Amino acid sequence: MTESTLPPCRRMVVLTEGRTTPFYAKTAMSLVKYRSSEVLALLDSTQAGQTAGKLLGLGGDIPVVASLDDVDSPDSLVLGIAPPGGKVPPEWKSIIVEAIGRGLDIVSGLHEFLSDDAELSGLAAKHGVRIVDVRKNNEDTPSDCVEFRPGCLRIHTVGHDCTVGKMVASLEIQLALVKRGIDAHFVATGQTGIMVSGEGCPIDCVVSDFVNGAAERLVLRSQHHDVLLIEGQGSVVHPRFSGVTLGLLHGSAPQGLILCYEVGRETVKGLDHVRLEPLAKLRDIYETIGSVRYPCKVIGVAMNSRRVDEDAAERERVRVEAELGLPACDVYRHGPDVLVDAVLALREELGL
């Protein structure tokens, strides 16, 4: 495959056994938020009888169950964790084996590939189910540097660091555009985004020679939509992941960028000795390096204000809007409307 296309997963059970907490179950949290009507239950025998809402703060009444017996006709088991470098918890294997035996497709975003396990692969073949390792890819060609469909507006979320909310900003803007009647599509580039959207490319798993090409092909497959919200990764000045970030930026060739950051974060996550760049400087860098195939500009700021209170968030919002002369909001706290307006304004400016 050149793309991670998932099974339909219309009736999924999300496996979080022993790990139904906001710290571990990040994938589960995105699924109960963005695919709530398709998540029948969380599977965690240690928390049976609880709800997603109580344990994760998201997902409302979605029940936590002890066994697949407690779920009505599920079609898939989706692993609800995806820690960096993560392995499959050993005690999960018997649960996966049981799910395959019941005819469920299996979806995993872990670094360790379930499909490389001969026992699981054999069982899956026997029972006619798919095992999809979302981080697996076989991208093996460079970019062709083709022209995209002129009517397709590409918006890309970029940031000052990893895990500041690029996926969330992309999704919230996309959903709000759809509500306004626009044919907007979310383009997933990381494992959680792929699980939420059902398709995409795990861009950081692609061989570096082909990363620009993989990003280009993601756009080519989606450019029949009028607006693309392309999920960003890392940061173009991130000492660890800048290669991924720039390949994605150049390959997808966006005309508009949403600059994402976390309020109060001053150093690179996991690298306390590396200071983050100021937003104004970052904007200049992104616009300079991003304007290769098409002119590209930052059109708004998505601030992640989870660590500050309401008043501090509002002061920061006003400060950033004034400093950068751009609309800014926390898509959860304030809703994404000012960024949606910015996308539509760019669309009009470009005559699309």
Instruction: Provide the binding-site residues for a copy of itself, judged by CB under 8 A.
Output: 142-143, 145, 203-209, 211-213, 236-248, 250-251, 253, 268, 271, 273-274, 284-285, 288-289, 292-293
Q: Of the two residues 49 and 85, which places its CB atom closer to a copy of itself in the complex?
A: 85
The helix-helix angle for 242-252 and 211-222 (nearest 10°) equals 40
Provide the minimum distance between the beta carbon of 312 and a copy of itself in the complex, in angstroms, as a whole number.
29
Give the containing element (helix H, strand E) for 341.
helix 337-349
Taking the least distance from each CB to a copy of itself, the nearer of 1 and 292 is 292
Cβ 42 vs Cβ 70: under 8 Å: no
Q: What are phi and psi of 46, to 5 degrees?
A: -80, -10
Q: Which is nearer to a copy of itself, 175 or 289 (CB)?
A: 289
CB of residue 63 to a copy of itself, shortest distance in Å: 36
Q: Which of 266, 323, 316, 256 is nearest to 290 (CA)?
A: 256
Q: Least CB distance from residue 247 to a copy of itself, whole Å?
A: 3
Residue 125 vs 207, nearer CB to a copy of itself = 207
Using the Cα atoms of residue 327, residue 287, residue 150 and residue 348 in order, give the sign of their dihedral: positive
Of 212 and 222, nearer to a copy of itself (C-beta) is: 212
What's the closest the beta carbon of residue 250 comes to a copy of itself, in angstroms?
5
In this complex, which beta carbon is closest to a copy of itself, that of residue 16 or of residue 233? 233
Q: Report the nearest approach of a copy of itself to the CB of residue 233 (Å).
A: 9
Please give the full DSSP string across 63-98, using - where no structure is assigned. BEESSGGGSSS--EEEE----TTPPPPGGGHHHHHH
- Burial pattern 149-178, b for ≥16 Cβ within 10 A else e, equals eeebbbbbbbbbbbebbbbbbbbbbbbbbe
**Residue 111 φ then ψ, to 5°:** -70, -35
Integer Cα distance of 297 and 288 in angstroms: 9
- Tokens for 343, please give them: 């996308």
**C-beta of 57: minimal distance to a copy of itself in Å?**
29
For Cα atoms 6, 235, 194, give the angle at the middle one, nearest 5 degrees.
5
Half-sphere exposure of 279 (CA within 13 A, CB side): 24
Nearer to a copy of itself, 108 or 233 (CB): 233
Q: How far is the CB of 139 from a copy of itself (least distance, A)?
A: 10
Q: Which is nearer to a copy of itself, 9 or 158 (CB)?
A: 158
Residue located via tokens 């979302």:
134
Taking the complex as a whole, the smallest distance from the CB of residue 288 to a copy of itself amounts, in Å, to 6
Place of tokens 């296309």: 5
Contacting residues for 108 by C-beta, under 8 A, at least 6 apart = 78, 79, 88, 114, 131, 132, 133, 134
Question: Measured from the CB atom, is 28 or 206 closer to a copy of itself?
Answer: 206
- Nearest residue to 274 via CA among 242, 300, 226, 229: 242
Q: State the nearest-atom distance from the C-beta of 231 to a copy of itself, in Å.
A: 15
